[in-house]
Structure 1
Amino acid sequence: MTPRTQLVGLLMAGSALPSLAQADFIDDSKASLELRNYYFNRDFRQTDARDKSAEWAQGFILRMESGYTAGTVGFGVDAMGMLGLKLDSADGTAGSGLLPADGSGGSQDQYGKLAVTAKAKISNSTLKVGALQLRSPIVSSNDSRLLPQTFQGALLNVQEIDKLTLQGGKFNRIKANSSTDYTDMTANRIGGTSDSFMFGGGDYKFTPELTAGLHYGTLEDIYQQYYGTLVHMLPLGDGQSLKTDLRYSQSREDGNFRNIDNKAFGAMFTYTLGGHAFGAGYQRMSGDDPFPYIASSDPFLVNFVQINDFANTEERSWQARYDYNFASIGIPGLTFMTRYISGDNVDVAARSSEGKEWERNMDIAYVVQGGPLKNLGLKWRNATVRSNFGNDIDENRLILSYTLALW
């Protein structure tokens, strides 16, 4: 028996699936091992408080996905084993989000996580139960550190009607990037705790160039949110296009935790010419509160960038962005991005002047395209933040990654 068959058999037995594997369950299975070497350095530009966070760690992410058993309803199982190892950290520089805290001001030497998901498929619809990762306008998993963040719950995807994709589900817990335990969910900047986030919505592709979406979610007893999206891609010929990305949401309280009032509008326009892409964005918060979303997850905002989300109460922000793909001059795998975001009009409590902030980002990435090091990736992420109501930050991240297909 091959190692592949043994591993899939273990997954199948551990998830109480039918004892006799169907051919598709084995043949459609796949597995990969991702290695992430991650260096994180954040300088808070302060002398009267904590001034620095710097850590270096090695991550291993083993992903295994089965196919589905034969029949009207197919069953399968996915699993993800994760291990993080500390390479360098100190009591005064811990807290980067790469490693769990050790309880004495430093970081743990190592930590591991296991994520198992049972799944079922009928026609073009799937139901997944267990550990979940997803990206949607109403809730998205975060994967910006050493190991990914996961939710616990159930997720249903339905694609039975041509051009229409429906999604819904319920989460009851969250496991943050550097955590080994599931915990209750809380709302970023809002507070409170909840063990129930229910959501649903869909996207409809009116034409190959135009897609509209409407989504709803509620973090029980804290907030509820409606989110509408519109994306249009206009081909202009000769390697040119104009992409329009519009987003609007309304959020209000759910239950008696506290009153919540937020309206968020975002627009991003991107003009592509060959290997060049020029972007311009605008984001506006209205109401008495900042934009609410589940803490440790990613908000669906056009100005959510490397460090900031520019989603404070009454904040207005603008973005200018430039991307270049060096494949257009014969260097495939090499990419560059830079952007600048400026925010103002922030309602800052106990201050007579409005809050202002800005952030500048730069990413340079290269992925080896062939040979024995194919898929080896190297990325440098740099950010600078200045604010009159928060921390000034200089940040660098160096990420070396390699994904090996096991089968």
Structure 2
Amino acid sequence: MRVMKWSMIALAVSAGTSQFAIASSQDEAKGFIEDQSLTAKTRLQYMNRDYKNGAGNSSSGTAGYRQDTGLSELINYTSGFTQGTIGVGVDAMVMGSVKLDGGSGHRGNGLFANDSDGNPEKTQSKSGAAVKFRLSDTTLKYGQQFVASPVFATDDSRLLPEVATGTLITSKEIKNLELSAGRFTSLSKQTGMGRDSIGGLSDENGFGGKGLTNINIFGASYAFTDNFTGAVAASDADDYFKKQYINLNYTLPINEDQSLNFDFNGYNTKGEKRGDLVDAIGDGTTGVDNKLWSLAAAYSLGAHKFTVAHQRSSGDNGYYYGVDGNGTIFVANSIQISDFVGRDERSWQARYDLNMKTYGVPGLSFMTRYVMGDNIKTNGLGEGKENEWNLESKYVFQDGPAKDLSMRLRFANYRSNGAYSGYSSDNYDTRLIIEYPLTIL
């Protein structure tokens, strides 16, 4: 599921009508040491999936539930750029996790890897670094890094984030226009310490667990006005598929306390028909071609926000992602458990958000949403249907010694009919996430 959001744009922009910045970022470089930063983020996460209707825990072979608790630390060092025409800098990361609770009988939530005996690892750690160069307002970065492109996005929904290895160029030479291009050669999953540990798409999706070889990505985002932005992006993942993405985001201010926002996201995936792909619906289809789009409308009224969304998937199969990062799904109905991206699936969402700052409790917020999906093609079992209800509360300390410490409680109730039960068994998903970000330098 997706945890991040671009608000990005169409490439068809005339550079001649754009304004160039008077002073570039490199002109204002303060120096390697002078502009450095060091941050640490501590995360405590508890996760419990309680399966219903006698469903088994496929990861451990036991019926019932999966439960894990762990603590992680992520330290990020970012240097400034040296002064001169071309600035040089370095970024580095060190991260590790410790298992606090979770035996082999209840493993499987993705917080820890398993050792050779099939038991969750007690501790894990990894590190990485990247060198960066900047010319004017264009930056090139090579090495281990986090990526947030809608066609290649590293996931950070568990204790440790995914880490990509490769090259990314980002250019902001033209006002309001950002261009990016990159090539990545490996991706480590959240519980994997090796660079090539992502393992590709799952075996059940027909890719045999093969890992990432190379992926090339391109993106462009443009702010047409303060209230209207858009983006396009594309990727080519060797031996898997090619993807194109588009986003349009428009906010209509009504008055000081009211606004209306529209957000459109769309993907087009093209892949080779291959003999090792699973025939997902039993009709001889072995391709991954898919079209996926969503449109969300959100009405904000003071402390309240009401959102409705519609999403559709069509093609040879459902929407596939994972080898290109487990965060690569920027659509409205990708939520806590399901993404609602089955073959020919149609889904609808209703959501309500409340910000308690208006009522004298800054930092406290609530959210609830319900998504229902139907029309899913299955392997001869009839129409697949699924639904999910989410409830979430979050509090961020506003001042004092615990300033910026956040506590987030998430709950999900997922159900699917018999025709679609192979996607995910009925379950209750409960998560407690406590995070404390600290700026050291």
TM-score (norm: length of structure 1): 0.91
Deviations 1:345-404 (A, max 9, x none): 1111131x2000011111101011111111111110111100122200101111111112
- Aligned residue for 2:293, secondary structure, equals strand
Residue 80 of structure 1: how far off its partner (Å): 1.1
Match of 1:308 in 2: 338
Match of 1:251 in 2: 269
Output the CA distance in 1 between the equivalents of 2:191 and 2:35: 31
Aligned residue runs from structure 1 range 343-354, under 5 A: 343-351=373-381, 353-354=382-383
Residue identity in the other structure for 2:242: Q
- Does residue 402 of structure 1 match 2:436? yes
Conservation of the 8 A alpha-carbon contact between 1:185 and 1:195: no
Match of 2:347 in 1: 317
Alignment partner of 1:366 out of 387, 390, 395? 395
Change (3 A) 1:383 1:28: same
Output the CA distance in 2 between the equivalents of 1:256 and 1:56: 40
Output the CA distance in 2 between the equivalents of 1:159 and 1:29: 21
Output the CA distance in 1 between the equivalents of 2:92 and 2:390: 34
Conservation of the 8 A alpha-carbon contact between 1:367 and 1:375: yes
Match of 1:241 in 2: 259
- Does residue 49 of structure 1 match 2:63? no
Residue 292 of structure 1: how far off its partner (Å): 2.2
Residue identity in the other structure for 2:305: A
Match of 2:141 in 1: 128
Residue 238 of structure 1: how far off its partner (Å): 2.6
Residue identity in the other structure for 1:70: Q
Change (3 A) 1:125 1:175: same
Deviations 1:101-153 (A, max 9, x none): 12333201100010211111111111111112122222211111011111111
- Aligned residue for 2:149, secondary structure, equals coil
Residue identity in the other structure for 2:337: I
- Aligned residue for 1:218, secondary structure, equals strand
Match of 1:186 in 2: 200
| Of 180-189 and 43-52, the range deviating more from structure 2 | 180-189
Match of 1:380 in 2: 409
In structure 2, stretches of 5+ residues that fail to align are 1-28, 58-63, 276-285
Residue identity in the other structure for 1:219: A
Conservation of the 8 A alpha-carbon contact between 1:69 and 1:76: yes
- Does residue 225 of structure 1 match 2:243? yes
Higher strand share: 1
Match of 2:132 in 1: 119
Output the CA distance in 2 between the equivalents of 1:181 and 1:200: 26
- Aligned residue for 1:186, secondary structure, equals coil
Conservation of the 8 A alpha-carbon contact between 1:40 and 1:56: yes
What value does the CA root-mean-square deviation take over the aligned residues?
1.7
Output the CA distance in 1 between the equivalents of 2:159 and 2:249: 31
Residue 46 of structure 1: how far off its partner (Å): 4.4
Output the CA distance in 1 between the equivalents of 2:201 and 2:261: 31
Aligned residue runs from structure 1 range 5-404, under 5 A: 24-47=31-54, 49-50=56-57, 51-183=64-196, 186-187=200-201, 189=205, 191=207, 193=210, 194-254=212-272, 259-295=287-323, 296-298=325-327, 299-351=329-381, 353-388=382-417, 389-390=420-421, 391-404=425-438
Conservation of the 8 A alpha-carbon contact between 2:318 and 2:341: yes
Residue 291 of structure 1: how far off its partner (Å): 1.0
Output the CA distance in 1 between the equivalents of 2:157 and 2:237: 23
Deviations 1:150-171 (A, max 9, x none): 1111111111112211111111
Output the CA distance in 2 between the equivalents of 1:254 and 1:154: 26
Deviations 1:36-94 (A, max 9, x none): 11111111224352221101111111111110111111111111111100111111111
- Aligned residue for 1:24, secondary structure, equals coil
Conservation of the 8 A alpha-carbon contact between 2:142 and 2:167: yes
TM-score (norm: length of structure 2): 0.84
Match of 1:12 in 2: none
Conservation of the 8 A alpha-carbon contact between 1:187 and 1:222: no
Residue 282 of structure 1: how far off its partner (Å): 0.6
**Greater relative CO (CA pairs within 8 A, separation 6+):** 2
Residue identity in the other structure for 2:233: H
Match of 2:23 in 1: none
How many residues in Structure 1 have an aligned counterpart in Structure 2? 385
Residue identity in the other structure for 1:358: N
| Of 227-236 and 285-294, the range deviating more from structure 2 | 285-294
In structure 1, stretches of 5+ residues that fail to align are 1-21
Output the CA distance in 2 between the equivalents of 1:291 and 1:310: 9
Output the CA distance in 2 between the equivalents of 1:223 and 1:129: 24
Residue identity in the other structure for 1:239: D
Change (3 A) 1:190 1:70: farther
